[in-house]
Amino acid sequence: MRIAVVGSGYVGLVAGACFADIGHEVILVDNDRQKVAALTQGQVPIHEKFLPELLERHRGHRLTFSGDLHAAVEASDAVFIAVGTPSTERGDADLSYVESVARGISGAINRYKVVVEKSTVPVYTSEWIRKIILRNAAAPDSFDVASNPEFMREGTAVSDFFYTDRIVIGADSERCTAMLREIYAPLTDGSYYQRPDAIPRPDRAQIPPPMVVTSTKSAELLKHACNAFLAMKISFINAVASVCELVGADVHQVCLGIGTDSRIGSRFLNPGIGYGGSCFPKDLRAFRAVAREHGYEFRLLDEVMLINEDQRRRFLHKVHSALWTLRGKRLAVLGLAFKGGTDDIRESPAILVTQMLLQEGCQVAAYDPAAKERAREVFGSAVEFADNPYDAARGADCHRWTQSL
C-alpha cells in the first residue's frame, strides 16, 4: 500500500521506516527542508537501535523523503499524522501542527483515503480532523479518520513496532478498518516474522501480536490511559520507597514481593528519581486536561505528578545529607538521558537535578554515552562534559547515577 507519514520526528521516522520494512511504499513528509535533505543524504538524526539499518535498506526505494505534503497525500492511500503534540502552558496538548496538517491534507484528497492519527492526541481529535477536512470542501465519503496509537519506547522503538504487545486500531467504518488491517497484515498474519532479514525477536515477545479494534474515541483514550497508568505505577513504587526509607524496610524486597503477583507484574516497579522523557509527563498533563475539559478532576493523576516532582527534591536532599554544603563542591553526574539506550533529554530528571545542583553552586562534570551533545545544547559551558565515567568522577566529591527506567 502507498502510505504518507507526515512528520519526521521520532515517531514518524521510526513508523515510516518500519512501514517500508513490512512492504509498503512510504513517503515521509516534513516541512523542514533541511531535515528532508539530511534524511535523503542518509543521515540518521536520532539514536535508535536498528533504525540506521532500516533506513539504509529502504532509502530511495520504498522509503522516500519529501517536503511536499500535497503531492505525498495525492499519491497515497493512507496518511499517518505523526507530528509533535507538545504541552501548552496549561498542560493540554498543542494541536496546531495537527490542525495545519489536516488542512494540508484536505486539498489533496483525490480518491478515498484513510487519515490516521499516530501522534498521541486527546480524545475527540479525530472528529476535529474530520471537521477540518470537511470544511475544506472534501466530500464526506472520500475519507475516514482513524486512530492508531503507537506504543514505541525510545531506545527500543523499532523492536517495539514489530514486536508490540498489541496493535490498536480505532476506526468508525468497515472500509477504514479493513484498510488498517491490511496495512498491518504482515505482522498479524505472521508472515513478516518468517523473513530471514526480519528485525530480531526480543526475548519476551509474543508473535503474532493481537489486534484491538475499537472506536476512534476509545483508541484515543487508550493511549493516554496506558501512559498515565504506567506513570502511576512508577509514582506508587516511589511513594512506597519513601515509606520503606522511613520505616527501615527494603524497597527492593518489597518490589520482589509485589511484582511476583501476576495481577501486578514486576515491570515498572523500579523506584528511583522519577519518570521523565517526552511522553509520560506530557501525556499525563494532557490526560488530566482531557478529563478536566469534560468536567472531571482526575486528582489521582495530580498525586502521581506530585510524587514525581517530590522524587527530585528527595534526591537533592540525599545529596545534601551526604555532603552537607554544596557550594563549590565538584560533583560527577553519570547519565543525562531520561533513560538508558536513548539520547533524549526532554524532561529528563537527570537534567533537572543537574540544574538544581548548578543553582546550589556545584561544579558538575557529566558523562552520558549518548546524550552528551544534546545536553551541551542545554548547559553550554556551565557543565564540564567528560568522555568516560572515570574522567567525570576524577576529583569528584560525589557522583550520581541516573536510574534507567
Partner 1 sequence: MKLSVIGAGYVGLTTAACLAQIGHDVFCSESDVEKLAKLQSGIMPFFEPNLEDVIKGVCNAGRLTFGSTEEAIAWGTVIFICVGTPPLANGDADLSSIENAARTIAKRASGYRLVIEKSTVPVQTGSQLRKYLAANRTNGLKYDVASNPEFLREGSSVEDFLHPERIVVGVDSPSAEEILREIYQPVISQSFTCPIHPNCAKRNEPVFLVTDTGSAELIKHASNSFLAMKISFINMVANLCETVGADVTKVAQGMGLDSRIGPSFLNPGIGFGGFCFPKDVQAFIRIAEKAGCDFALLREVEKINQGRIGHLVEKVRNELWVIRGKKIAVWGLAFKPNTDDVRFAPSIALIESLLSEGAKVSAYDPEAMDKAKAVLPNITYCSDPYKAAEGTEAIVVVTEWDEFRRIAWTRIKSVIERPLIIDGRNMLDAKVVADQGFQYVSVGRPSVIPAEARSAEREGPVLAAQDQTAGAMAD
Angle at the Cα of 327 (from 324 to 333), degrees rounded to 5?
85
Does residue 250 belong to the site contacting partner 1 (CB under 8 A)?
yes
Segments in 260-364 forming alpha helices (H)? 280-293, 299-323, 349-359
Per-residue contact string for residues 159-198; x = within reach of partner 1 by CB under 8 A: ------xx-x------------------------------
Residue 11 has phi, psi (to 5 degrees) of: -70, -45
Choose between 38 and 239: whose C-beta lies nearer to partner 1. 239
For partner 1, the binding residues in 123-162 under the rule CB under 8 A are 123-124, 127, 131, 151
Does residue 219 belong to the site contacting partner 1 (CB under 8 A)?
yes
As a whole number of angstroms, the distance between CA 21 and CA 139 comes to: 33
274 vs 103, 298, 308, CA distance in Å?
39, 20, 5
Choose between 1 and 211: whose C-beta lies nearer to partner 1. 211
As a whole number of angstroms, the distance between CA 47 and CA 68 comes to: 26
Per-residue contact string for residues 255-294; x = within reach of partner 1 by CB under 8 A: -xxx-xxxxxx-xx---------------------xx--x
* CB-count burial class (<10 Å; 0-12, 13-18, 19+) for 103: middle
As a whole number of angstroms, the distance between CA 323 and CA 234 comes to: 28
Does residue 109 belong to the site contacting partner 1 (CB under 8 A)?
no
Q: Are 266 and 255 in contact (CB under 8 A)?
A: yes
Q: Which window, 175-183, 226-234, 277-285, 322-330, contacts partner 1 (CB under 8 A)?
A: 226-234
Per-residue contact string for residues 30-69; x = within reach of partner 1 by CB under 8 A: ----------------------------------------
Q: Are 78 and 113 in contact (CB under 8 A)?
A: yes
**Given the rule CB under 8 A, which residues bind partner 1?**
123-124, 127, 131, 151, 165-166, 168, 204, 210, 212, 214-215, 217-222, 225-226, 228-230, 232-233, 235-236, 239-240, 242-244, 246-250, 253-254, 256-258, 260-265, 267-268, 290-291, 294-296, 298-300, 302-304, 306-307
